[in-house]
Structure 1
Amino acid sequence: MESAPNTHLVSLAAGDLLMVLLTVPFTSIVYTVSSYPFGEAVCRASEFAKDLSLGITVFTLTALSADRYMAIVRPVTHHVSDSTGHVAIAVAIGIWVVAALLATPAAIFSNTPELVNPKGEKFHICTPYPEYLGAVYKQVHALVKAIMYYLLPLALIASFYVLMARHLFISAQFLPGEAAGQQRQAQARRKVAKMVLAFVTIFAICFLPLNVFNLWWHFAPNSRETYDIYWHTFRIVGFCLSFINSCINPIALYCVSGTFRKYYNKHVFCWCTRHSGRRDWEGAESTGTRITTAVRTEQIPLKMVGTDNGTQQPPAHRLTLTNTTVLTTKPHHNPASLV
């Protein structure tokens, strides 16, 4: 758990849990009732949690891609550094702070205005766009969210993976005779890279419809007039996919990571599996400096010099044997132990 990918995965899981608990119940009920039944405080908290979770998700995926780039392109520097774990924790905390700052406008400006439908019936909605800020704020807000939460992160992630693919291709050409240990390490790093790529692909698919709808709704000059059942269905599908993203990440991780799958079966489905207690190398934890000292004392009869062929029984002499072994001098993370 001290590895950088695992630190980011814990942060990603916390953001997903925040989305599922604080946003999905209050947003989904909008499509089942005619008027928003909660007050303005719940509306602000729900919109803030939605933007916070979205920021945590996309920024964590970007950080995971950057970490995989460093692990594959510069494995020695990335592996030997003693501060890798501390840097990952600092980055995770920074992601939460930045995501909270970017979600602050949703907490400040979200409100529940009263509207009137064509039948003359009054109802309330929860919206992050106050009327007194005008249409320009809606357009700027939608455009900034599309750039900061979707287009820019995906461009950075794509750049990291293009550079990783180029490095792996060149390495496969010029290093055909890698040692077995190096091949296993490279294979483990590639597995983690594939895991991150799966997360990114799922994110890109899940949030594409919602971003397309928001940009169309706020920038198309006749969007209000052309809004029909098809656009309404497209909007609902976009909301559902954005929420499904928070639920599908652990499923994707279970499918692409053998280590995660093994420990998930062990701790969650423990009644279905029986383990012999053997600890294999794949799930080995990090090992710090450890010094083993073995002391053994034995009584060995020694032959006295000058006796008659050693027939006289000499007194037993104690001989103490001490063996000190330094097993390792640096913390070590087995690449295969990364989920």
Structure 2
Amino acid sequence: MNMTLDNYNSTEFIQSSSIIKQSNTHPIDTNNIDNVFNITSCIIITFMFSLIVIFSIFGNILVMWIILNNRRMRTITNCFLFNLSAADLLTIFQIIPNVYYVLQNDWIFGIAYCKFSQFFTSFNIAISVFTFIAISSDRYTAIMFPLRPRSKLKTVICAIVAIWLISFAIGLPGLIVATVYPKNLSNLQNIVNSTDLLVVVKQISVNSPDQYVSNDCILNWSSEWSEAYDYTLFVLMYVLPLIILATTYIPISIHLWFHRGLGEVTRAQAQNVQSKRRAVKMLCAVMLIFAICWLPYQLFFILLQLSPTIKSSHSLPIIFICCYWLAMSNSMYNPIIYVLMNKIKQKYKACFYHQLLVCDVIKGLLKRNLSSFVNKLKHIPLN
């Protein structure tokens, strides 16, 4: 079925990146973007996001490696933290293209990666949120009902698989309706429907055959669907999880810090309580950092829905890139929290010293072999 441009409002196709929330009805005025991000600001922004990529890769891979290579670390909570690190690693695959998109005001990565990026925007958040809920549920059961049997590893694996499947379903709309549109719609004559996906046919006018048309990666649906999807994600991925986490960790904290058991408390029991307190502190810190990092990003799009007049603001791209950096930086904070507030600190140190030892051994072997090689060269006759 052929569809003409008369069916669309051209303002709906102005800049709306995969990270500028998934809709063609959330435009940022592209005329402002070109004026805001000069060379200096682009260098600074690229450097700041590069820090996220580097620290996220190093920290999360190290966490996953420690958990995999230490049997004592393979607890239920750490299995979920392993899953959280895996989700954090996935975020780096969308940072680089999305930052380029915002700075250069052009999507050059094709329709396939556009769909991938739109999908992972919601997919990654969902994995983190549902993992937090799973951890809080496990901690609540273990601390408030200590006599109940603990979850087995098989149950934890099933829970993680369920988290990924549900998260996939939440991100699916982005995978289905995401597409790439050129910004200069005046040079387009028609849009055709091919294999159930809207494909843009770029037909440059005869008067300007060499004209380059920059593109936008957007979700192609109505403003009503966009508004419903945005509010649903805000409630489902932010408000509701925080309420659930509060209803679990507040009773846990009251029980650990204010509850006094009957009889004399042994030293082993006191150490057990202290260990649980440290674990709860660490988990609360991880979730609090998550809530702080993602709050400006979530509110950014709610404000766009409530006040459409701010969409053409000259400072809006700067505000967005700051919100996006803060949200993405969450992926590098968790390993730091684990080190500062958990016994994984010793594992990090052991891993670090082990790497230094390996490097020293390798350097010693290379030095010894090089010395032996030089001595052999000295004894080779020249004739």
User: TM (normalized to structure 2)?
Assistant: 0.64
Verify: 1:36 aligned to 2:99, yes or no: no
Verify: 1:246 aligned to 2:327, yes or no: no
Name the amino acid aligned to 2:237: Y
CA deviation after TM superposition for structure 1 residue 224, in Å: 2.8
Does the 8 A contact of 1:68 with 1:189 survive in 2?
Answer: no
Residue by residue, what CA displacement relative to the aligned partner does 1:290-310 show, whole Å, maximum 9, x if unpaired? Answer: xxxxxxxxxxxxxxxxxxxxx
Of 274, 278, 301, the residue aligned with 1:187 is 274
Verify: 1:111 aligned to 2:179, yes or no: yes
Give the aligned partner of residue 16 of structure 1.
Answer: 88
Give the aligned partner of residue 222 of structure 2.
Answer: 134
Which SS does the other structure have where 2:179 is aligned? coil
Give the aligned partner of residue 296 of structure 2.
Answer: 209
2:347 and 2:84 mapped to 1: Cα distance? 18
Give the aligned partner of residue 199 of structure 1.
Answer: 286
CA deviation after TM superposition for structure 1 residue 49, in Å: 2.1
Residue by residue, what CA displacement relative to the aligned partner does 1:132-151 show, whole Å, maximum 9, x if unpaired? Answer: x2111111111011111111
Residue by residue, what CA displacement relative to the aligned partner does 1:139-182 show, whole Å, maximum 9, x if unpaired? Answer: 1111011111111101100111111122224423x547311111
Which SS does the other structure have where 2:214 is aligned? strand
1:109 and 1:271 mapped to 2: Cα distance? 47
Name the amino acid aligned to 1:166: I
Verify: 1:154 aligned to 2:242, yes or no: yes
CA deviation after TM superposition for structure 1 residue 3, in Å: 1.7
Which SS does the other structure have where 1:105 is aligned? helix
Aligned Cα RMSD in Å?
Answer: 2.2
2:319 and 2:330 mapped to 1: Cα distance? 17
Give the aligned partner of residue 237 of structure 1.
Answer: 322
Residue by residue, what CA displacement relative to the aligned partner does 1:51-84 show, whole Å, maximum 9, x if unpaired? Answer: 211111111112112222122212232xx43x43
1:252 and 1:116 mapped to 2: Cα distance? 47
Give the aligned partner of residue 167 of structure 1.
Answer: 255
Name the amino acid aligned to 2:232: V
CA deviation after TM superposition for structure 1 residue 222, in Å: 2.4
1:223 and 1:7 mapped to 2: Cα distance? 43
Of 29, 50, 58, the residue aligned with 2:129 is 58
Give the aligned partner of residue 228 of structure 1.
Answer: 314
Q: Compared with structure 1, are the counterparts of its residues 121 and 39 closer, same or farther at alpha carbon in structure 2 (3 Å cutoff)? A: closer
2:352 and 2:215 mapped to 1: Cα distance? 42
Does the 8 A contact of 1:139 with 1:219 survive in 2?
Answer: no
Residue by residue, what CA displacement relative to the aligned partner does 1:216-253 show, whole Å, maximum 9, x if unpaired? Answer: 1123242335x231x32221111111111112111111
Residue by residue, what CA displacement relative to the aligned partner does 1:59-112 show, whole Å, maximum 9, x if unpaired? Answer: 1112112222122212232xx43x432222211111111101111111111122
Name the amino acid aligned to 1:266: A
Residue by residue, what CA displacement relative to the aligned partner does 1:176-200 show, whole Å, maximum 9, x if unpaired? Answer: 7311111111111111111110110
Residue by residue, what CA displacement relative to the aligned partner does 1:104-130 show, whole Å, maximum 9, x if unpaired? Answer: 11111112222249xx98531222x21
2:314 and 2:85 mapped to 1: Cα distance? 36
Give the aligned partner of residue 78 of structure 2.
Answer: 6
**Gaps (5+ residues) in structure 2?**
1-72, 186-210, 359-383
Which SS does the other structure have where 2:264 is aligned? coil
User: TM (normalized to structure 1)?
Assistant: 0.72
- The share of aligned pairs that are identical, in percent, is 25
Name the amino acid aligned to 2:240: L
Of 104, 123, 141, the residue aligned with 2:214 is 123
2:253 and 2:78 mapped to 1: Cα distance? 22
1:15 and 1:271 mapped to 2: Cα distance? 26
Of 71, 76, 88, the residue aligned with 2:147 is 76
**Gaps (5+ residues) in structure 1?**
275-339
Structure (1/2) with the larger helix percentage: 2
CA deviation after TM superposition for structure 1 residue 34, in Å: 3.1
**Over alpha carbons, which structure has the higher Rg?**
1
Residue by residue, what CA displacement relative to the aligned partner does 1:227-280 show, whole Å, maximum 9, x if unpaired? Answer: 231x322211111111111121111111111x2111112124424579xxxxxx
Q: Which has the higher contact order (CA 8 A, sep 6+)?
A: 2
Of 154, 162, 182, the residue aligned with 1:86 is 154
- Matched positions, count: 261
Does the 8 A contact of 1:61 with 1:200 survive in 2?
Answer: yes
